[in-house]
Amino acid sequence: MGEKSYIEIAKDVKLLCVNSEKFKTNVIDVDFFVPINEHFAALNVLSSLMGHTSKNYKTFTSFNRKVESLYGADFETNIATIGEKVRIRFSIEIPDDRFSLDENSISEDAVDFLIDIILNPNCENKKFDEENTAREIRFTLENIEAEKNDKRAYALSRLRQLMCENEPYGIDREKLEEDVRNLDSEKLFAAYESLMKTSTIVVTACGSLNGDMLKEKFCEFAESIPERQAAALSTVYVEKAENIRYFTDEMDITQAKLVIGLRSGMKNSEDDYFAFRVMTDIFGGGPYSRLFLNVREKMSLCYYCGARLLREKGIIFIQSGIEEENYEKALNEILNQLEIMKKGEFTEEDFNSSITALCDAFRGVGDSPEAVCTFYNSQVFDKELVSGEEFAEKISQVTREQVVECAKRVTVDSVYLLKGESGNNE
């Protein structure tokens, strides 16, 4: 996989097909990248709507029957923010052509289906179907609201909003809800048009499918959208937090959620990335990490306590679920462990465990077609595309000194606690 790279098959349309005979399935991801802009709320609705109905499959039933006829394909559309880029994904996994029960190529049918629903949404006269629009607005609102059901995700999302309130990344959920409520079928169409015209399109596929077929079909697809001009995609990296900000929310919950946001100090997604990756892993990665061994195992304060680096934004998030009364104890210990990282007082064993585990995990990314697609897709905007093996190689070259240097650049930005309602603590 070493010499792999995305090829630009048309203006701002990139394609990568990783051929491998070892899988029983093929995966095809078609991604549209745009900046977080005025269409963001509409894109949330679109990503759902376009995965439910289209011009040729106007009802849920007809749409889903089409998906079902592709041998029960795993199909989904979703929206995500990758740093300050918005990604709308159309993803399908189907059994390989050799399992077809007739003469048809399952993968070719799947590609035709994806292209069809993307190019032919359920619109007429520059408007989406009214009934569909109303229904999808309801789904989107319910979906945004439902984030409250997952307390871990909700706490993280709140911290993100509070910590990055002056950056596009700090998406305000209430404003998003309001924007979604104010949408209509015309605004949705404007967002669709803008998505088609201004996105960077990335197609990533893995399996034993025919790369030439993919290239041909997606070239034709790109040509059918005239005057495309991709919008610039960039993300603000805040290198340093000035002082620690503290936030608290209350909710009727049993276990308090502690989330801490750190500015890593990275200037961009490639700035000492591998060393930062190792640093974050020693600090709060696997069960060998400082946070797991101390906050959980030694102090029995929680079931989970871990740290994760968001390369695309240069932020490190720490998450834990604790007893509210242990808030200070947990926070102090987490910050203490961060100090240990900065002073280089972690052990040789901590360092080696992390390098060994990371290398082992990245050497295995080629064993599932979804993992292959996700792995390469995450590098699509990097200068070079590295394989799992090469990734592991770069990790193994990271030195202890580099890790300490990275840790020294880290600053604590925000501390967030989601706690039980006052007077209602169990």
Q: Name which of residues 53 to 92 contact other proteins (CB under 8 A).
A: 59-61, 64-65, 67-74
Neighbours of 203 (CB within 10 A): 26
Distance CA 362, CA 359 (A): 5
Q: Which helix (H) or strand (E) holds 403?
A: helix 400-409
Please, which residue, 246 or 304, has the CB nearer to other proteins?
304
- Cα distances from 408 to residues 238, 279, 371, 399, 411, in angstroms, run 15, 10, 32, 15, 8
Only segment of 29-37, 209-217, 239-247, 365-373 that touches other proteins (CB under 8 A): 365-373
Counting contacts by CB under 8 A, is residue 21 touching other proteins? yes
In the list 286, 378, 394, 402, the residue contacting other proteins (rule: CB under 8 A) is 286
Least gap, CB of 353 to other proteins (angstroms): 4
Distance CA 182, CA 284 (A): 41
Positions 177 through 236 that interact with other proteins (CB under 8 A): none
Only segment of 81-89, 94-102, 307-315, 404-412 that touches other proteins (CB under 8 A): 94-102
Query: Which residue's entry shows tokens 């029957």?
Result: 65
Least gap, CB of 227 to other proteins (angstroms): 34
Least gap, CB of 84 to other proteins (angstroms): 27
Counting contacts by CB under 8 A, is residue 48 touching other proteins? yes
Least gap, CB of 385 to other proteins (angstroms): 18
Positions 302 through 321 that interact with other proteins (CB under 8 A): 302-304, 321
Counting contacts by CB under 8 A, is residue 345 touching other proteins? no
Distance CA 228, CA 195 (A): 10
Counting contacts by CB under 8 A, is residue 394 touching other proteins? no
167 Cβ neighbours under 8 A, 6+ residues apart? 84, 236, 238
Q: What is the largest CA-CA distance in the chain?
A: 68
Helices (H) and strands (E) in the chain, counts: 15, 13
Distance CA 413, CA 408 (A): 14
The single-letter code of the amino acid at 81 is T
Token couple for 184: 């209509």
Least gap, CB of 241 to other proteins (angstroms): 28
Least gap, CB of 338 to other proteins (angstroms): 21
Q: Which helix (H) or strand (E) holds 195?
A: helix 185-198
Positions 111 through 170 that interact with other proteins (CB under 8 A): 135, 138-139, 142-143, 145-151
Is residue 241 within 8 A of residue 413, CB to CB? The reply is yes
Please, which residue, 21 or 227, has the CB nearer to other proteins?
21
List of E strands, 13-65: 13-19, 25-35
In the list 182, 224, 254, 332, the residue contacting other proteins (rule: CB under 8 A) is 254
Using CB under 8 A as the binding criterion, the count of chain residues that bind other proteins stands at 72
Please, which residue, 336 or 356, has the CB nearer to other proteins?
356
Least gap, CB of 47 to other proteins (angstroms): 12
Counting contacts by CB under 8 A, is residue 104 touching other proteins? no
Counting contacts by CB under 8 A, is residue 327 touching other proteins? no
In the list 296, 311, 409, 419, the residue contacting other proteins (rule: CB under 8 A) is 296
The single-letter code of the amino acid at 192 is Y
